[in-house]
Structure 1
Amino acid sequence: MNSSIGELTELIQPPSVRRDKDWASAEHALGIRLPADYKELIETYGGSNWDDYLYVLEPGCPNDNYDLIEWEDQQAEALEGLWEFEKKPAELEDEGVRVIPWATTDNGECLYWLIRPGRDPESWTVMVNEARGERWEHFPHTCTRFLASALTGDLRSNILSSRFPLPVHEFRQLHVM
């Protein structure tokens, strides 16, 4: 078990039923190999809502609104249109760099993996984009380290809600709507 997943399981008891995924199909659809810590997060918690605010996206999520592959398609198109009017963050200027969403919030902020060409998925870091705005933040953490650090209060964002995390954590797995 990855140390960040271990920290998450100490904070929030995982559901009793683990979700098995067809990772090969998901990775084929995305055209990338996903980080092992993310796969472990999904197999442990599934697509999920944390502290009534942050939604972790899942490939083939039972709730279609939080399907990782659908979000990637929509966000890739939206960002291409956005770059016509707004300046890209410095982290995205280099040739071949891209972002793929792995979480969102109830306010519409989006959390992305920053993917640089030739980098192993285990070294991907997190970019946060404000809802309906051009502010971005970069965090040198994997997605699970970001989530665990945000929930313990060790990581603070100027974009994410000041009410996140909650004093008493809440969790729910996403189901068919």
Structure 2
Amino acid sequence: MNNALTRLLEIAPAPSEPRQKDWGEVERSLGDELPADYKELIHVYGGSNWDSYLYVLEPRCPNENYDLIEWAQNQAEDLEDLWEFEKKPAELEVEGARVIPWATTDNGECLYWLFRPGLDPDQWTVMVNEARGDRWEHFSASCTQFLASALDGGLQSNILSSLFPRATHEFRQLGAV
């Protein structure tokens, strides 16, 4: 278990039922391998809501609104259309670079992995895009490191809500609607 996941377990106890995934099938659907820390996060917490604000996407999530595979497909299409009108962030100017969503918020911000060709998924970092805007932030952290650091106050975003994180953390596993 990685250190960031250990920190998350201190913040919010894990649900009693771990989520099982066929990661081979998930990765074939996405066309990419996923970071090991994310797979651990989903195994322990599943698709989840943190502090009534941030939603971690899960492949084949019981709540279909937070299905990682569907989000990845939709966001790829939406961003390709967007780049026709807006300038890409500098991190995406590298040939073959792209983003893959792993979380979203109540306000519509989206959190992505920064994919770069030849980079191992465990080296992917996090990018945050504001809702309905062109501001982006880049964080040199894995998704689990980002989540744990955001919740314990060690990481500050100028895009995410100033009300996140809450003083008393709330965790909810996403279930069927």
Q: Please, what TM-score do these two structures have when normalized by structure 2?
A: 0.99
Match in the other structure for 1:16: 16
What residue number does 2:94 align with? 94
- Structure 2 residue identity aligned to 1:146: F
Match in the other structure for 1:31: 31
Quote the Cα distance in structure 2 between the aligned partners of 1:29 and 1:96. 19
1:81 is matched by which residue type in structure 2? D
Q: How many residues align?
A: 177
For 1:43, the equivalent position in structure 2 comes to 43
Aligned residue in 2 for 1:156:
156
Identity %: 71
SS in 2 for 1:43: helix
| 1:129 CA drift (Å) | 0.1
In structure 1, C-alpha distance between the alignment counterparts of 2:140 and 2:117, rounded to whole Å? 17
Q: Which residue of 2 aligns with 1:116?
A: 116
Instruction: Give the distance between the partners of 1:90 and 1:111, measured in 2 at CA.
Output: 16
After the TM superposition, list the runs of 4 or more consecutive aligned residues in structure 1 that deviate by more than 3 angstroms. none
Deviation at 1:135, TM superposition (A): 0.1
State the alpha-carbon separation in 1 of the partners of residues 156 and 93 from structure 2: 25
CA apart distance, 1:38: 0.1
Q: How far does residue 164 in structure 1 lie from its aligned partner after superposition?
A: 0.2
Distance 1:130 1:25 in 2: 31
CA distance in 1 between partners of 2:43 and 2:79 (Å):
29
TM-score, normalised to structure 1, is 0.99
Report the counterpart of residue 56 of structure 2 in structure 1: 56
Aligned ranges 1:165-176 → 2 under 5 Å: 165-176=165-176
How far residue 56 of structure 1 moved from its aligned partner, in angstroms, is 0.1
CA-based RMSD: 0.4
Per-residue deviation, 1:74: 0.6
Question: Partners of 2:69 and 2:90 in 1: how far apart?
Answer: 25
